[in-house]
Chains A and B, each alone.
Chain A
Amino acid sequence: MKRFIGFIKKEFYHIFRDRRSLFILFGMPIAQIMLFGFAITNEINNVDIAVLDHSKDATTKEIINKISASKYFSINQFIDREADIETIFKKGKVKAVLNFQKDFSKKLIKDHKATIQIITDATDPNTANTVSNYVNAILQQYQKGLNKDITITYQIVPQTRMVYNPELKSVYMFVPGVMTIILMLVSAMMTSISITREKELGTMEILLVSPIKPIQVIVGKVFPYIFLSIINAIVIVVLSIFIFKMPVQGSLFLLAMESILFIISALALGILISTISATQQTAMMISLMGLMLPVILLSGFIFPISSMPLPLQLISNIIPAKWFIIILKGIMLKGVGLQYLWKETLILIGMTIFFIGLSVKKYKIRLE
């Protein structure tokens, strides 16, 4: 035991001696959470719209003003010909064109009906669809104003409540995601690289012929990183509470426990990667190339899992990050406790045990 403690001490010294790496480990996640918390949003704001107005009468002017007054759109270009639409779309700045038909006001008065084309650059389907919906909503409002003398009969009006995030802040969606990605990648990368490094430099041999047991070697190497990751997690949570005003409706203690569990599962994954890689380069490429995209795309961090094709929904279940994001949102935003999160917690525990078990099995004392 005394030897083991000595070994852990050595590992700690090893890490804390390298000032530059320490700065990288702590500085970078902080920089990232600050940047993403403020900058990333999947809302649609300030979309550039151009107008092709064939009537230029009072009504169309009023509608254009209504649309450009909304925070979603900025109208800064007026074009005169259909042929110009293609030209501005190819430049890529303008995402939609509103095309008002001729004699708009006259038609409204005479036929009670007039037409606007909403032409969108649908290479980005999400923006195109959202722009269409928002313009429609604004026009509906405008229409209501025109028809206010007519009593509308037989109407069911929805009373809508947005729960858990009444202000629809996108920060609530992204902060848990960013926190998960940082913890996952940093933890997995750190352990996989540091263990593989010993292998590559040949010092693993020396450790293995020492009286310390192989399992102790691994635990000893990982221990400082658990400590570092926990500090990272604390910093991220504190930042998200004080700077991004993320609520913690549920128990802070549970949040801490779940974070430690997730960190251990990521470290265990790192150990597993180190058992299958011979060189640091391989270990890094597996943890970076292999983990980054799946974790970003399949964890529900940006894209809703329920909209994915079924095979991918099934694959998403093996991504630990998915479960941790559910847990984070549950504790922070819904304020639920273990009675609602026991399933996700058990899955994370199961994965951790599985990773560790597999690593122990694969861990070859003799290096090829």
Chain B
Amino acid sequence: MKTILYIIQKEFKQIFRNKGMLPIIFVLPLLQLVILSNAATFEVKNIKFGYIDNDHTSTSRALVEKFNASTYFNVLTDFPSEALASSSMLKGEVDVLLQIPHYFERDLQKEKQNSLGVTINAIDGAAAGVENVYVTQILQSFNQNIKASLLQVSDKQIQPIAIETIPLFWYNKTLNYKTFMVPGILVLLVTMITLFLSGMNIVREKEIGTLEQINVTPIKKSQFIIGKLFPFWVIGMGLLTVGLILAKVIFNVPMIGSLPLLYFYTSIYILVILGIGLFISNFTDTQQQAMFIAWFFTVIFILMSGLFTPIESMPKWAQTLTEFNPIRYFVEVMRMVMLKGSGFMDILPQLLKTLLYAIIMNGLAVWSYKKTT
């Protein structure tokens, strides 16, 4: 025990001695949490909207006015020609384009039906889908208005059947993205810091040659590993604490569930990450190699965690792969406990899998760590 305490002391000293690293470990992640959480939104607003009005009647003007009044669209310009409009689309200045044909109003009154062209930049397919929904909604309400104003006595109206839908958004009435993203990004920062630091730490001793010196001391393998990794576990928990405080103070993210439960889960989760870090350092010779491998897995873990894009939309084989992704479980637990108040029994599957992961990973790491003599 005493030996371990000495090693822990040495590690802490080394971490806090390095003035260049301190801001990177503590300030940079939290700064990113505060700033970048605002960027992670799938909302579609400020849509760049242009139109070509070939009709110039009160109806066509009223239609454009409808788009102008909507909060989603920024009405840009009335393009005099198709050519100018499509060139503007190529430049990326316009994403949704409305083409109002000649005799639009006249035909509408005569035929009681009319069509107009809508062109949508679909490179971002999901956003294009949402833009299409918005356009349809505006046209529907416009249709209601003209019906009311143009309906003649001769038009007999039978009352159509209507199925009314009432959307209810639980746990997040205002559809605020930040409450969803802040816990997720916090997970990411805690993970990245603990993984990178632990992954590089032992390799560094190898590279500098000091590992040899430790190997000839009477320190046992387990003492050395525990002493090495414990400081990073503390740093991870510390980051989580400060991050949760920032989430509450700055973003007002709800904390419905039990805080001790969250800490209990995190304490196990960080062990998984430290195990992975140690495992990486055992199989690499230089910090550069260790870093690249850590980066490789981090990018995969991040993008396959359901943090930014939904897991259930992935193909089946990819969903199976995410079962091996620790970040996935932490993101789920964090969001469930904080936002929905899920309890111990609700997160039990994630908890058990994480625990199993921690045992296997650390077992492998300790087993593969050799005190070469």
Residue of A nearest to B48 (CB): A306
B180 touching A35 by the CB < 8 A rule?
Answer: no
Q: Which of A152-160, A217-225, A263-271, A359-367 contacts B (4 or more CB under 8 A)?
A: A152-160
Residues on B with C-beta less than 8 A from A25 are: 292
Distance of A316 Cα from B40 Cα, bound (Å): 13
Chain B 4-36 per-residue mask, 1 if CB under 8 angstroms from chain A, else 0: 000000000000001011001100110010011
Distance of A36 Cα from B339 Cα, bound (Å): 29
A168 touching B128 by the CB < 8 A rule?
Answer: yes
Asked whether A158 and B115 contact (CB < 8 A) given A125-B176, A153-B147, A280-B287, the answer is: yes
Q: Which of B119, B121, B292, B312 contacts A28 (CB 8 A)?
A: B292
Q: Is B120 an interface residue (CB 8 A)?
A: yes
Residues on B with C-beta less than 8 A from A181 are: 299
Q: Is A356 an interface residue (CB 8 A)?
A: no
Residues on B with C-beta less than 8 A from A155 are: 112-114, 143
B313 touching A133 by the CB < 8 A rule?
Answer: no
Residue of B nearest to A294 (CB): B36
Most chain A beta-carbon neighbours within 10 Å: one of B121, B161, B342: B161
Q: Is A77 an interface residue (CB 8 A)?
A: no
Residues on B with C-beta less than 8 A from A336 are: 90
Q: Is A119 an interface residue (CB 8 A)?
A: yes
Asked whether A161 and B118 contact (CB < 8 A) given A42-B309, A89-B340, A123-B171, the answer is: yes
Asked whether A298 and B39 contact (CB < 8 A) given A289-B192, A289-B196, the answer is: yes
Asked whether A158 and B135 contact (CB < 8 A) given A122-B172, A153-B147, the answer is: yes
B303 touching A128 by the CB < 8 A rule?
Answer: no
Residues on B with C-beta less than 8 A from A277 are: 20
Chain B 21-63 per-residue mask, 1 if CB under 8 angstroms from chain A, else 0: 1001100110010011011111111111000000000000001
A39 touching B135 by the CB < 8 A rule?
Answer: no
Distance of A298 Cα from B339 Cα, bound (Å): 25
Q: Is the interface of A mostly helix, strand, loop or mixed?
A: helix
A298 touching B142 by the CB < 8 A rule?
Answer: no
Cβ distance B55 to chain A, nearest Cβ, rounded Å:
12
Residues on A with C-beta less than 8 A from B356 are: none
Chain A 21-36 per-residue mask, 1 if CB under 8 angstroms from chain B, else 0: 1001100100110011
Q: Is B318 an interface residue (CB 8 A)?
A: yes
Instruction: List the count of A-B residue pairs having beta carbons below 8 Å apart.
Output: 356
Cβ distance B64 to chain A, nearest Cβ, rounded Å:
13
Distance of A297 Cα from B335 Cα, bound (Å): 19
Asked whether A333 and B123 contact (CB < 8 A) given A41-B313, A168-B129, A286-B24, the answer is: yes
Q: Is A251 an interface residue (CB 8 A)?
A: no
A288 touching B291 by the CB < 8 A rule?
Answer: yes
Cβ distance B222 to chain A, nearest Cβ, rounded Å:
25
Q: Is B69 an interface residue (CB 8 A)?
A: no
Q: Which of B63, B313, B341 contacts A43 (CB 8 A)?
A: B313
Q: How large is the interface on A (under 10, 10 to 19, 20 to 34, 35 or more residues)?
A: 35 or more
Q: Which of B90, B115, B120, B177 contacts A125 (CB 8 A)?
A: B177
Q: Is A317 an interface residue (CB 8 A)?
A: no
Residues on A with C-beta less than 8 A from B150 are: 154
A284 touching B125 by the CB < 8 A rule?
Answer: no
A163 touching B160 by the CB < 8 A rule?
Answer: no
Residues on B with C-beta less than 8 A from A285 are: 21, 24-25, 196
Q: Is A70 an interface residue (CB 8 A)?
A: no
Residue of A nearest to B195 (CB): A288
Cβ distance A188 to chain B, nearest Cβ, rounded Å:
11
Residues 172 to 214 of chain B near chain A (Cβ within 8 Å): 172-173, 175-177, 179-180, 185, 188-189, 192-193, 196, 200, 204
Cβ distance A259 to chain B, nearest Cβ, rounded Å:
19
A150 touching B122 by the CB < 8 A rule?
Answer: no
Residues on B with C-beta less than 8 A from A292 are: 192, 295, 298-299
Q: Is B346 an interface residue (CB 8 A)?
A: yes
Q: Is B168 an interface residue (CB 8 A)?
A: yes
Distance of A31 Cα from B321 Cα, bound (Å): 14
Residue of A nearest to B42 (CB): A126
Asked whether A297 and B45 contact (CB < 8 A) given A43-B313, A161-B117, A340-B91, the answer is: no
B interface, CB within 8 angstroms of A:
18, 20-21, 24-25, 28-29, 32, 35-36, 38-48, 63, 89-92, 108, 112-130, 132-133, 135-136, 139, 142-143, 146-147, 150-151, 155, 157-173, 175-177, 179-180, 185, 188-189, 192-193, 196, 200, 204, 284-289, 291-296, 298-300, 302-304, 308-310, 312-315, 318, 321, 332, 335-336, 339-343, 346
Known: A159-B116, A307-B46. 12 other contacts (CB 8 A): A42-B126, A85-B170, A128-B172, A150-B160, A153-B155, A181-B299, A281-B204, A293-B188, A296-B308, A303-B308, A307-B44, A334-B123
Question: Sorted from nearest, which 9 A-B pairs have the closest CB atoms?
Answer: A168-B125, A39-B318, A122-B169, A162-B122, A122-B172, A125-B175, A126-B42, A165-B122, A123-B339
